[in-house]
Amino acid sequence: MKFLSKYIKKYWVSFCIAVLFLTFEAVCDLLQPTIMAKIIDKGVARKDIHYVLQMGGLMLAITAFGAVSAGTRSVIASIVSQNFGTELRFDLFKKIQTMSFKNLDQFDRASLITRLTNDVTQVQVFVNGLMRIFVKSPLLAIGGLVMAVRLNLHLAVVLAIVVPIVALLIVFNMRLGLPRFSKVQKALDGVNGVMREYLSGVRVVKAFNHFDVEVAKFTKANEHYKNQAVAANRLMSIFSPAIMLTVNLGIVVVLWIGGWGVRSGTIQVGHIIAFINYMTQISMSLMMISMVFNMYVRARASAGRIGEVFLQEDSIAWDRGSFNTRTEKGRIDFENVTFAYASSTEPVLKNINLTILPGETVGIIGSTGSGKSTLVGLISRFYDVSSGMIRVDGEDIKQINPKVLREKIALVPQKNILFTGSVAENIRWGKEDATKAEVEQAARTAGAHDFIIAAPEGYETMIGQGGVNFSGGQKQRISIARALVKRPEILILDDSTSAVDVTTEAKIKKALKTYAKGLTCLLIAQRITSIMDADKIVVLDHGEIVGIGTHQELIKECSVYQEIYRSQMGKEVQ
């Protein structure tokens, strides 16, 4: 919960002011029964109308003061809790943004969404509550006790029995509640997870007529959530009436003792009424306190989950040295690189040694899962190598600020991701201030210009969520344009022409040659024809390089390459 200290520091003054007004409010509430007792015992009993009016006026004044205090406190509480919630949400979002992939892999995406929304709201509600009932309830409970004892010591004996029982019930309630509410949150994560997966794969679901399966999955998650919530609330619903019952029994006893007292003339009627008033105040406050604990339990679970995200030490240092101004731009060296994802000990890449010279076009080929995407991801330092070293422009990338490093590289990821906005805006992701001409030139090179201008509003055509209104191949080409407009030193295309027909692919490659002159280019491909004419081809197999060379060389020497050639071209190697 260390992350909360920042906000506590910022808001403690406003918080204290709110609590001060809250105290006024509670004092006003506490004074009422005593004044009422006086009105009854002195005014009514002696038929002194003047006294009744005087005390009535005082009561009115106190009520008015209490109301003003409550209003002020309410405004402050709302402002503080809203600002706190907004800032916490923003900080959490920022943290998630800057987290390395290694850290991100540890969280389910759906759970991050719940943390950002529901969990932050829970903590926010709690903070608001702190400035409302949370402080007021104990004040009223303790104040009520003091006033009741002052009023009548004999009757107060009842409180000495009732209060400890209620306190005990609250402690039990709290102990049993915490683990249950944590489970409710987990179950809610489950519901969000199913929903998220369904929405991102809705086309596949429809194509496979998998509605029933999805509905069943959702129903299961939803039911589980309901059951957990019911279990947690059932527990709560046992405790609240139990507390109420204890207090009411106490009131019955007070009435009984009081009745005897009035009869024998030792207790005044006004005192009994006031005492019962205090008792009700105390009981309501104790009930509130048990509710407060429920909220606390939930907020603590939520804060814990938010804290988990904040606790993530960034595995990548962000602000170390920068590049020397080197002449050798676009050189990449892998030196004995081995890499394993955090989820398994088995390395995905083993002993990779590879040098890519500035301006070279390098093809990377290999069966699925052989580690191609992982290999290029390491250059952008999405993950840190397990052992060995990667140099870009001769510098160890661990010594470079990742921001500077990523400026040099443009990656077209294997999974195309376009953002909501116009086509032009999407291409400008690569370079915010790109001119219209630059955007168009990048699109032309990527073979996207023609279909973009054929779209209803050309470059201003809006792209729907995830790019639903463009075909797979069109999306790929917009993604390529986005990378090209950046004019990087290193261009990485991860299987980026897989959904483009062979003729278009050839055109793109030809255009790239002139556009990307002097640019280091890494092309990952499944089709051998896509990379055949590269300066150098790297053949990956089960995370190892099994061949490096030109097409001619590999076809002679590399058995894995020969196999790929044979299967794709349908002919034997000559």
- # of chain residues touching ligand ATP (CB under 6 A): 13
For residue 371, the partner it binds in ligand ATP, Mg ion, none, with Cβ less than 5 to 8 A by kind, is ligand ATP
For residue 369, the partner it binds in Mg ion, ligand ATP, none, with Cβ less than 5 to 8 A by kind, is ligand ATP
Q: Three-class SS of residue 412? A: strand
Min separation Cβ 91 and ligand ATP, Å: 26
Tokens for 269, please give them: 């009627």
Measure CA of the first residue to CA of the last residue in the chain; give whole Å: 68
Among 368, 503, 552, 574, binds ligand ATP (CB under 6 A): 368
Min separation Cβ 196 and ligand ATP, Å: 17
- Give the separation between CA 90 and CA 110, rounded to whole angstroms: 18
Among 341, 429, 451, 515, binds ligand ATP (CB under 6 A): 341
- Give the separation between CA 423 and CA 446, rounded to whole angstroms: 13
Q: Which is nearer to Mg ion, 278 or 334 (CB)?
A: 334
Among 89, 350, 372, 408, binds ligand ATP (CB under 6 A): 372
Min separation Cβ 533 and Mg ion, Å: 22
Q: Does 121 bind Mg ion (CB under 5 A)?
A: no
- Give the separation between CA 513 and CA 523, rounded to whole angstroms: 13
- Give the separation between CA 262 and CA 83, rounded to whole angstroms: 54
Residues 391-430 contacting Mg ion, CB under 5 A: 414
Q: Does 367 bind Mg ion (CB under 5 A)?
A: no
Min separation Cβ 374 and ligand ATP, Å: 3
Min separation Cβ 334 and ligand ATP, Å: 14
Q: Which is nearer to ligand ATP, 65 or 341 (CB)?
A: 341
Q: Which helix (H) or strand (E) holds 161?
A: helix 156-200
Q: Which is nearer to ligand ATP, 143 or 473 (CB)?
A: 473
Among 374, 445, 497, 520, binds ligand ATP (CB under 6 A): 374
Q: Which is nearer to ligand ATP, 143 or 347 (CB)?
A: 347
Among 373, 380, 441, 497, binds Mg ion (CB under 5 A): 373
For residue 105, the partner it binds in ligand ATP, Mg ion, none, with Cβ less than 5 to 8 A by kind, is ligand ATP
Q: Does 373 bind ligand ATP (CB under 6 A)?
A: yes
Residues 104-143 contacting ligand ATP, CB under 6 A: 105
Min separation Cβ 412 and ligand ATP, Å: 13
Cα three-residue angle 510-515-516, rounded to 5 degrees: 95
- Considering only 193-201, 279-287, 367-375, 467-475, which stretch makes contact with Mg ion by CB under 5 A? 367-375
Chain residue at closest Cβ approach to Mg ion? 373
Tokens for 159, please give them: 């409180």
- Give the separation between CA 105 and CA 342, rounded to whole angstroms: 8
- Give the separation between CA 386 and CA 320, rounded to whole angstroms: 20
**Residue closest to 142 by CA, chosen among 15, 24, 16, 27:** 27
Min separation Cβ 472 and Mg ion, Å: 16
Give the burial string for 28-44 (b: 16+ CB within 10 Å, else e).
bbbbbbbebbbbbbebe
Phi-psi domain of 146 (left: phi exceeds 0; alpha: psi -120 through 50; beta: other): alpha
Min separation Cβ 448 and ligand ATP, Å: 23
Min separation Cβ 378 and ligand ATP, Å: 10
For residue 445, the partner it binds in ligand ATP, Mg ion, none, with Cβ less than 5 to 8 A by kind, is none
Residues 409-448 contacting ligand ATP, CB under 6 A: 414
Among 137, 228, 302, 370, binds ligand ATP (CB under 6 A): 370
Q: Three-class SS of residue 92? A: helix
- Give the separation between CA 289 and CA 163, rounded to whole angstroms: 12
Tokens for 409, please give them: 């590289």
Min separation Cβ 113 and ligand ATP, Å: 19
Min separation Cβ 424 and ligand ATP, Å: 29
Residues 46-105 contacting ligand ATP, CB under 6 A: 105
- Give the separation between CA 124 and CA 298, rounded to whole angstroms: 11
Residues 476-535 contacting ligand ATP, CB under 6 A: none
* Phi then psi dihedrals of residue 132, to 5 deg: -115, -105
For residue 370, the partner it binds in ligand ATP, Mg ion, none, with Cβ less than 5 to 8 A by kind, is ligand ATP
Tokens for 64, please give them: 């008015």
Min separation Cβ 372 and Mg ion, Å: 5
- Considering only 108-116, 120-128, 370-378, 539-547, which stretch makes contact with Mg ion by CB under 5 A? 370-378
For residue 100, the partner it binds in ligand ATP, Mg ion, none, with Cβ less than 5 to 8 A by kind, is none
DSSP bridge pairs for 462: 422
Q: Does 498 bind Mg ion (CB under 5 A)?
A: no
Q: Which helix (H) or strand (E) holds 356?
A: strand 349-356
Tokens for 413, please give them: 């990821």
Give the burial string for 273-282 (b: 16+ CB within 10 Å, else e).
bbbbbbbebb
- Considering only 125-133, 221-229, 367-375, 564-572, which stretch makes contact with ligand ATP by CB under 6 A? 367-375
For residue 294, the partner it binds in ligand ATP, Mg ion, none, with Cβ less than 5 to 8 A by kind, is none
Q: Which is nearer to Mg ion, 14 or 414 (CB)?
A: 414
DSSP bridge pairs for 422: 462
Q: Which residues contact 279 (CB under 8 A, 6 or more apart)?
A: 144, 148, 158, 159, 247, 250, 251, 254
Tokens for 144, please give them: 């009520």
Q: Which is it for the CA torsion 433, 434, 436, 437, positive or negative?
A: positive
Min separation Cβ 495 and Mg ion, Å: 6
User: In the chain, helix, strand, coil percent, each to 5?
Assistant: 65, 10, 25
- Give the separation between CA 418 and CA 467, rounded to whole angstroms: 6
Q: Which is nearer to Mg ion, 287 or 480 (CB)?
A: 480
Q: Which helix (H) or strand (E) holds 107?
A: none
The site for ligand ATP (CB under 6 A) is made up of 105, 341, 343, 348, 366, 368-374, 414
The site for Mg ion (CB under 5 A) is made up of 373, 414
